[in-house]
Amino acid sequence: MSRVNHGVPSHARHTKVIKKAKGYYGRRKNCYRTAVQAVEKAGQYAYIGRKQKKRNFRALWIQRINAAARMHGMTYSRFMNGIKLSGIELDRKILADIAARDEAAFAAIAKTVQAALDKADKAAA
């Protein structure tokens, strides 16, 4: 029985890794061993980044809502409490978009929220 060489499959495996490492700097792009390490680490960063992206966008939305709410004399936490009390079912993404693009609409929402907060404060007192 003849001896089997694994030249074709291993070359294909190497090519796949080198292709993923395209654009890397130095030996990381053309030496298989270093390319394997670089591609693996890049995959780890990508995986972590997909989780961080969600956090970062939520933080951005909160900052935008806070800035717009403060222009109407409220803090972010008071504004979000008023949103819940007034029964407005808009998430942070949509509220941030409205705050950034349509000041008149956000002013109307802020007015409704302020009315709900005033009503809740009178009920508590």
pTM equals 0.81
The confidence score (pLDDT) of residue 73 equals 95
The confidence score (pLDDT) of residue 95 equals 97
- Is 32 contained in some domain? yes
Dihedral pair phi/psi, residue 30, rounded to 5°: -130, -10
The confidence score (pLDDT) of residue 105 equals 96
Number of domains in the chain: 1
Stretch 12-21: mean pLDDT: 97
- Is 3 contained in some domain? no
The confidence score (pLDDT) of residue 4 equals 84
**Which residues have C-beta within 8 Å of that of residue 71, sequence separation ≥ 6?**
none
- Is 2 contained in some domain? no
Task: Kindly report the CATH number assigned to the domain that includes residue 21.
Answer: 1.10.1900.20
- What is the Cα–Cα distance from 47 to 56, expressed in whole angstroms? 15
The confidence score (pLDDT) of residue 108 equals 97
- Is 77 contained in some domain? yes
- Is 68 contained in some domain? yes
Give per-residue pLDDT as tens, 65-119: 999 999 999 999 999 999 999 999 999 999 999 999 999 999 999 999 999 999 9
- Is 19 contained in some domain? yes
Q: Which domain holds residue 12?
A: 8-124
- Is 1 contained in some domain? no
